Amino acid sequence: MKALVTGAAGFVGSSITARLLAEGWEVRGVDAMTDYYDVALKEENLARLGGAFSLERASLLDLDLGAVLDGVDVVFHEAGQPGVRSSWGTEFGVYLDANVAATQALLEAARRAPGLQRLVYASSSSVYGDAERFPTSELDRPAPISPYGVTKLAAEHLCSLYASQFGTPTVSLRYFTVFGPRQRPDMAFTRFLTAAATGREITVFGTGEQVRDFTFVDDVVEANLRAATADLKPGTVLNVAGGTHVSVNEVLEEIAGLAGGPLDVRRVARCDGDVTRTGGDATRAAELLGWSPRVGIAEGLARQWEWVRGRL
């Protein structure tokens, strides 16, 4: 089997790529290597990859995607511009290009790719915004409260549109806060754990009472591989949720236990677009993929803690 992984140098993209290579897939990667965070970290992710892997260092918008998809059986579309805080204001155009225009270009090529069996799109729980109920199911109304969430939902709608109009075999996975080793440096757990390990101050946006559904990266990878081969209707949308439902303050308590002492926490104003709570209902993923999360918050944090300490 041959896969295309977009965003192959990133946190989730490189984790999917490593798993595919370990299982004998041939993988073609694409990554624009943008500087949203230190490119050296992406190079480290790539250095872990061996086997039948090749990489195009370019934006999807600058490639002949028909040629890129030649011979590809499955696409894992992980590329995109992350981050809620940066999506406001003048940076919004970056999000439109990376999250919406690039996805549309990929879908145009995918609908003409004769051997393509599946395109798995990395959507986000950000599409729900402040959801009306919890746990939130795929049938609940999406209402993003950040420009980032708007672009993720727009790209997801494009996937569903190309599925209904052209039969493009898309499936969208709505990730709920992915964590684990190699998590991006701007994400909360990496920031918290690094600060705890070095005795530095931890910055928390808001009161810390925000509740999140955290999902370990290995579980997300497993969901992707199952979505690649399961018998699914084109345009299917599924929650990929870890079922943890813990507050940021509870996470800090867990980290204090790992660090063996109190943390130096500074609280600042809540960020615009930061939702109060997330919590996904993953019943459909269990039914259609046979998937359920295996790694809980305590085990996952301990693994990420060891990874952070190993880098210092």
121 catalytically annotated: no
Whether residue 191 has pLDDT greater than 90: yes
Decide if 272 contacts 146 (C-beta within 8 A).
yes
Quote the pLDDT of residue 202.
Answer: 96
Residue 14 lies in a domain: yes
Whether residue 51 has pLDDT greater than 90: no
What SS3 class is residue 73? coil
Residue 123 lies in a domain: yes
Q: Which residues are bridge partners to 118 per DSSP?
A: 74
Residue 199 lies in a domain: no
Whether residue 273 has pLDDT greater than 90: no
Whether residue 270 has pLDDT greater than 90: no
Decide if 205 contacts 265 (C-beta within 8 A).
no
pLDDT in tens, 114-133: 999 999 999 999 999 999 99
pTM exceeding the 0.85 threshold for the entire prediction: yes
Residue 302 lies in a domain: no
Q: Which residues are bridge partners to 29 per DSSP?
A: 5, 55
For the chain, how many structural domains are there in total?
1
The residue annotated as part of the active site, out of 95, 128, 148, 162, is 148
Show the beta-strand stretches assigned E in 158-201: 170-175, 178-179
Residue-averaged pLDDT of the chain: 97
Residue 260 lies in a domain: no
Parent domain of 229:
2-175+217-241+279-294
Residue 145 lies in a domain: yes
CATH number at residue 116: 3.40.50.720
